[in-house]
Amino acid sequence: MTENNATARPENLPERIQHYIDGAFVDSQNGATFDVIDPVTNQTYIQAAAGQKEDVEAAVAAAKKAFEEGPWPKMLPRERSRVLNKIADIVESREQVLAEMESYDSGLPIKQALGQARRAAENFRFFADLIVAQIDDAYKVPGRQANYVNRKPIGVAGLITPWNTPFMLESWKLAPAIATGNTVVLKPAEFTPLSASLWAGIFGEAGLPQGVFNLVNGFGEDAGDALVKHPDVPLISFTGESRTGQIIFGNSAPFLKGLSMELGGKSPAVVFDDADLETAIDATIFGVFSLNGERCTAGSRILVQRGIYDEFVERYAAQAQRVKVGLPSDPTTEVGALVHPEHFDKVMSYVEIGKSEGRLVAGGGRPEGFPEGNFVQPTVFVDVAPDARIFQEEIFGPVVAITPFDTEEEALELANNTKYGLAAYIWTNDLKRAHNFAQNVEAGMVWLNSNNVRDLRTPFGGVKASGLGHEGGYRSIDFYTDQQAVHINLGEVHNPVFGKQQ
């Protein structure tokens, strides 16, 4: 890579990345480390501690002690809310530093990384508000019985997070887990451990008690597996690909753990012939090429009605060719570098597969001027059959398949014709069609005439191979708390009497 293509190295990088256990940064007990690379050069830039079973055991012991003996679970919601708001304030005040480190570590364009840092702060602020405003159910039978619900924190929550938008997705789990009074052990993705290392300082400055937050870096088969199998971790929240989710499901079964798993996606964007074409094209370009295409909710299958198909394809391909690929640190970059050479090879293998499964109208290789690093041109295949691998399988990169349809019934069949069911996007000005199609599409989330803009109060999750359970708003409160029903007799005791002496 030429000197002109070298991305800016953030200031204040740590000398190495360590675990954070019981209020202290520590190395792995056996001294194991792994290399962390810069995705622009694919050169190692830092070493991270590689957590093993014994490191996870130490982190869980610290979290369990903080839960059983520490003040955090017993604090009033308002007291915990103050700490969460301080966390949000600190994140906001450091958003530029966070974004620079996230961009450097993951290859995300700096402008998009900045948006993710702001969203992370908002996640903490949202749950700070929610735990104070939270109400619980009460049920009355006049003159006979009153019933109400207690919510209790459960214990140690194991949080396993992915490498795409890592800091924001860590906040998405950390905020509700600690807001509800639990303690946590976070296992971030091994490709992108840098921004996770910043949480310890943020939490300490905000006044989170020692042991509430613990962090173990490392590989899924070591640290992640030990966390999932630990008997003192009753909750596992995981975001990642579906095959890993299946393994976690199986390994958790003997312990009957609570599971929340947001898994893969191959989401359809359905464009009917009465849609606002320019807006639909802008949204579907953004929907698959933003965040380097490394997003679970990407609309990576675009289904277009036959009457507008040719015009849509022509305009979409031309706009995709204008999407700017560049250094992640360049504020004008729209697609940066994919996270890791392993993932780059996977995406490029699908590009090659696509050349025999569809008609290539944009991209298909490396962008000019970037002979090294994990750079991929925004790639568009059209006339893709529904049994094609690029139609059926999650690519998780800046690659899209476009397929025509004739009728609404055919569009629904195509939309539902994968094992996934995370998101769907529907573009039409027919109100009746929009609502009926949304009802019948197999997706946990549907956007009508909108890109992926989500209110934090709404549930997030998928169906089929895209997940198990939902988080977001009160669904997160449900997952991270036990609900206890309390029944009070208010009148004569009504019960059958057995064995009474006559």
What pTM was estimated for this model as a whole? Answer: 0.96
pLDDT, tens digit (0-9, with 9 covering 90-100), for 167-214? 999 999 999 999 999 999 999 999 999 999 999 999 999 999 999 999
Using CA atoms, how far apart are residues 324 and 249, in angstroms rounded to an integer?
Answer: 40
Mean pLDDT of 103-111: 97
pLDDT digits (tens, 9 = 90+) for 77-87: 999 999 999 99
At 473, which amino acid appears? G
**3 among known catalytic residues:** no
**By three-state DSSP, how is residue 193 classified?**
coil
Q: pLDDT at position 187, please?
A: 98
Q: Please compute the mean of the pLDDT values over residues 225-250 and round it to a whole number.
A: 96
**15 is known as an active-site residue:** no
What value does the mean pLDDT of the chain take? 96
Each residue's pLDDT tens digit, 432-441: 999 999 999 9
Give me the catalytic one of 100, 102, 190, 262. 262
What mean pLDDT is predicted for residues 259-278? 97
Task: Report the pLDDT value the prediction gives residue 496, as an integer from 0 to 100.
Answer: 87
Beta strand spans in 219-358 (E): 235-239, 258-262, 268-271, 301-305
Could you tell me which residue, 6 or 179, shows the higher pLDDT? 179
Q: What are the tens digits of pLDDT across the range 325-384?
A: 999 999 999 999 999 999 999 999 999 999 999 999 999 999 999 999 999 999 999 999
- Paired residues of 258 in beta bridges: 235
CB atoms within 10 A of CB 442: 18
The answer to whether the beta carbons of residues 248 and 236 sit under 8 Å apart is yes
Q: How confident is the model at residue 5 (pLDDT cuts 50, 70, 90)?
A: low
Q: Tell me: pLDDT of 35 over 80.
A: yes
The active-site residue, picked from 95, 170, 296, 394, is 296
Residue type, 339: V
Can you tell me the mean pLDDT for 303-318? 98
Query: Does pLDDT of 492 surpass 90?
Result: no
Task: Measure the N-to-C terminal CA separation of the chain; round to a whole number of Å.
Answer: 96
Q: What is the pLDDT of residue 2?
A: 39
Tell me: the pLDDT tens digits for 114-129? 999 999 999 999 999 9
